[in-house]
């Protein structure tokens, strides 16, 4: 029976004695990392949950694997529960190394759940109890980085990014990749714009995509890296490459699946880039997808739904949809944000300042900006929410105070130039950035890099606009029915699902697809979907 059935526990489980159950558990542990590397969390959970509870409660590795599976589903409450069970078992065995490994994984779920007291306590334990000669201690910068997100210590975060870059270059890089595999990919776009992120990610991306992980299409670290690549390209102002990177990451996600955290991050990047491109419908669709993912994540939905509303408000600001922006900001203000990330309050004040600018209420905008600046002095806000200094410059410009506006905007350009973060100017309304560039020549000391940065912004927007217009011209060639079919293909629907939704036969759907690929001059459905969205083929 065991030979005929792929899962021997299913075939002979009812006849196993205690010793055989122990062996079955050992086999699951031995094979578990391979399943995690393949993104096969469901298969892993099915195997573990067939074990008797007394067997499960004797092995912390099994609880650690259950935590990894819960992480992939975005269930942070279950992650915390499983990690605490694993830590308790290690503590009972006086296994300091095992408890160290688990506590180093504990920081992200505690931070995301808003349990900052426990996060502080766990970090203190790691700092004092992880042996100084243990390999696990090299992961402390990663734990400190998550802690820095709660304290706003930007200088510490920069140091930790540098330490992680050194780890990636070392022979112990496998430690970091194993940690990220367990957490379904534990880095997110929310760290974009923090000093030191770029240099770390260049090292990290090179190590991942030139190593064995690159060959494992479903590996959680690979799918996370593809998403972070899109964020990097967006933040350096390479909008066409960012668009292609998002398309490629989306196609990979549809084929292989990914952790929900990575999927949320990808939807966010797509929503923001579509807003920059002026694609209101596409940005709104990505926002709906992002919200649906957040609401499916237990523990995350409570903390991050108000955050999503601010992200939606940001996209509306870029698109010039001020009524929708005001409504999203109002909902965020009235939501329960007791468990939101620590930077939420500063982001909320900043968003309210943008709303006041949209209304022409400069007094309220100045008041909100003062509050946002005061909070951000101790708790920096992720850069994609906007920049307080830039909008302060614009408020001064609206008030006729050109010299003050030029001085503040020069400070922004200094940061953009030093950090190669052209995205700070990209994810802002173009009319505002253009107006601030125009005021610079009137300043007593014109900025040394203003002309170069202004040209880079224009090139980035111009390239993206041309691609969007090319996509629109291609869409005109399709009939109404073909366009319906292509829209469903782009959403990831199979031929059978398309046939059912449009009340067609599968044969007719295939005929429409053949016509579509012929008209668009592409080789298949994936390329057709990418051409429909952006006229940019997915990279190889």
- pLDDT-based confidence at 24, cuts 50/70/90? confident
Q: For residues 323 and 83, what is the distance between their CA atoms, to the nearest angstrom?
A: 44
**Other beta carbons less than 10 A from residue 523's beta carbon:** 10
pTM: 0.79
| 512's tokens | 């429409």
Q: For the segment 507-534, what is each residue's pLDDT rounded down to a tens digit?
A: 889 888 888 877 776 667 776 776 666 5
What is the third-level CATH fold of 59-182? 1.25.40
Assess whether pLDDT exceeds 70 at residue 540.
no
Residue 459: per-residue pLDDT: 85
Q: For residues 510 and 114, what is the distance between their CA atoms, to the nearest angstrom?
A: 49
- pLDDT-based confidence at 442, cuts 50/70/90? low
Better pLDDT: 184 or 387? 387
Better pLDDT: 191 or 105? 105
| 61's tokens | 């590795």
**Mean pLDDT value of segment 165-169:** 89
Assess whether pLDDT exceeds 90 at residue 327.
yes
Cα–chain-centroid distance for residue 303? Answer: 15
Q: For the segment 212-237, what is each residue's pLDDT rounded down to a tens digit?
A: 887 777 788 888 888 888 888 888 88
Q: Nearest-CA neighbor of 272 among 241, 307, 305, 242?
A: 242
Q: For residues 352 and 286, what is the distance between their CA atoms, to the nearest angstrom?
A: 23
**Mean pLDDT value of segment 105-118:** 86
Q: Nearest-CA neighbor of 177 among 211, 221, 215?
A: 221
Q: For residues 72 and 397, what is the distance between their CA atoms, to the nearest angstrom?
A: 47
Residue 443: per-residue pLDDT: 55
CB proximity list for 444: less than 8 A, separation 6 or greater: 403
Assess whether pLDDT exceeds 90 at residue 357.
yes
Q: How many CA atoms lie within 13 A of 263 on its CB side?
A: 24
| 270's tokens | 């797509």
- pLDDT-based confidence at 538, cuts 50/70/90? very low
- pLDDT-based confidence at 80, cuts 50/70/90? very high
- Check: CB of residue 24 under 8 Å from CB of residue 16: yes
Q: For the segment 419-430, what is each residue's pLDDT rounded down to a tens digit?
A: 888 888 998 999
Lowest mean pLDDT: which of 67-76, 174-183, 197-206, 496-505?
197-206
Q: How far is CA 134 from CA 42, 138, 140, 186, 328, in A?
A: 32, 8, 11, 22, 48
Assess whether pLDDT exceeds 80 at residue 17.
no
CB proximity list for 4: less than 8 A, separation 6 or greater: 11
3-state secondary structure 180-246: HHHCCCCCCHHHCCCCCHHHHHHHHHHHHHCCHHHHCCCCHHHHHHHHHHHHHHHHHCCHHHHHHHH
| 286's tokens | 């990505």
Assess whether pLDDT exceeds 50 at residue 539.
no
Better pLDDT: 380 or 262? 262
Q: Out of 3.30.2350.10, 1.10.10.10, 3.30.1660.40, 3.20.20.60, which CATH number does the structure's domain 477-534 have?
A: 1.10.10.10
Q: How many helices (H) and strands (E) does the chain have?
A: 29, 0
Q: Nearest-CA neighbor of 412 among 374, 386, 442?
A: 386
CB proximity list for 164: less than 8 A, separation 6 or greater: 141, 142, 145, 176, 200, 204
Better pLDDT: 98 or 252? 98
Q: How far is CA 464 from CA 234, 312, 530, in A?
A: 11, 21, 14
Task: Delimit the domains of the chain by residue range.
Answer: 59-182, 477-534
Residue 121: per-residue pLDDT: 93
**Mean pLDDT value of segment 27-36:** 83
Positive or negative torsion for Cα 62, 63, 69, 72: negative
Q: For residues 119 and 127, what is the distance between their CA atoms, to the nearest angstrom?
A: 12
Assess whether pLDDT exceeds 70 at residue 202.
yes
Q: For residues 215 and 141, what is the distance between their CA atoms, to the nearest angstrom?
A: 28
What's the whole-number average pLDDT of the chain?
A: 83
Strand partners, 299: 75
Cα–chain-centroid distance for residue 265? Answer: 2
Q: For residues 514 and 496, what is the distance between their CA atoms, to the nearest angstrom?
A: 16
């Amino acid at each position: 029976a065991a030979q005929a059935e792929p899962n021997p526990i299913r075939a002979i489980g009812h006849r196993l004695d205690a010793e055989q159950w122990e062996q079955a558990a050992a086999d699951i542990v031995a094979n578990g990392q391979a399943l995690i590397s393949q993104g096969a969390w469901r298969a892993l959970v099915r195997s573990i949950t067939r074990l008797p509870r007394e067997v499960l409660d004797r092995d912390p590795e099994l609880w650690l694997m259950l935590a990894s599976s819960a992480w992939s589903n975005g269930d942070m409450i279950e992650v915390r529960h499983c990690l605490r069970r694993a830590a308790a078992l290690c503590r009972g065995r006086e296994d300091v190394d095992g408890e160290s490994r688990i506590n180093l994984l504990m920081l992200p779920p505690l931070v995301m759940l808003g349990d900052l007291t426990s996060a502080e306590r766990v970090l203190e334990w790691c700092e004092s109890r992880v042996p100084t000669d243990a390999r696990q201690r090299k992961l402390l910068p990663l734990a400190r980085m998550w802690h820095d997100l709660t304290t706003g210590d930007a200088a510490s975060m920069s140091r930790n990014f540098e330490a992680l870059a050194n780890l990636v270059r070392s022979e112990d890089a496998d430690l970091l990749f194993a940690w990220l595999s367990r957490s379904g990919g534990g880095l997110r776009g929310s760290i974009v714009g923090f000093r030191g992120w770029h240099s770390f990610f260049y090292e990290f991306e090179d190590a991942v995509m030139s190593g064995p992980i690159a060959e494992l299409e479903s590996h959680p670290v690979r799918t996370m890296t593809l998403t972070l690549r899109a964020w990097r390209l967006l933040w350096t102002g390479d909008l066409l490459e960012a668009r292609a990177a998002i398309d490629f990451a989306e196609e990979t996600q549809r084929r292989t699946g990914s952790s929900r955290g990575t999927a949320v991050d990808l939807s966010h990047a797509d929503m923001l880039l579509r807003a920059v491109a002026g694609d209101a419908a596409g940005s709104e669709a990505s926002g709906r997808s992002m919200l649906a993912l957040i609401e499916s994540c237990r523990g995350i939905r409570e903390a991050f739904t108000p955050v999503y509303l601010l992200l939606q408000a940001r996209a509306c600001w870029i698109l010039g949809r001020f009524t929708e922006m005001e409504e999203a900001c109002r909902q965020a203000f009235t939501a329960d944000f007791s468990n939101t990330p620590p930077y939420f309050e500063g982001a909320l004040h900043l968003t309210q300042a943008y709303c006041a600018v949209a209304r022409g209420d400069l007094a309220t905008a100045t008041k909100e900006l003062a509050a946002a600046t005061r909070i951000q002095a101790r708790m920096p806000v992720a850069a994609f929410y906007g920049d307080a200094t830039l909008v302060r410059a614009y408020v001064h410009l609206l008030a006729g105070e050109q010299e003050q506006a030029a001085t503040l905007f020069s400070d922004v350009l200094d940061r953009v130039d030093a950090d190669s973060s052209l995205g700070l100017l990209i994810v802002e309304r173009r009319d505002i950035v253009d107006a601030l560039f125009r005021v610079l020549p009137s300043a007593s000391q014109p900025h040394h890099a203003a002309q170069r940065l202004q040209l880079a912004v224009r090139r980035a927007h111009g390239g993206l606009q041309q691609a969007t217009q090319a996509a629109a011209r291609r869409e005109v060639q399709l009939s109404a029915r073909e366009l319906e079919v292509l829209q469903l293909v782009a959403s990831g629907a199979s031929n059978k699902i398309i046939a059912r939704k449009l009340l067609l036969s599968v044969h007719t759907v295939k005929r429409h697809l053949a016509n579509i690929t012929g008209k668009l001059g592409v080789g298949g459905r994936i390329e057709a979907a990418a051409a429909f969205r952006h006229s940019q083929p997915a990279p190889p």
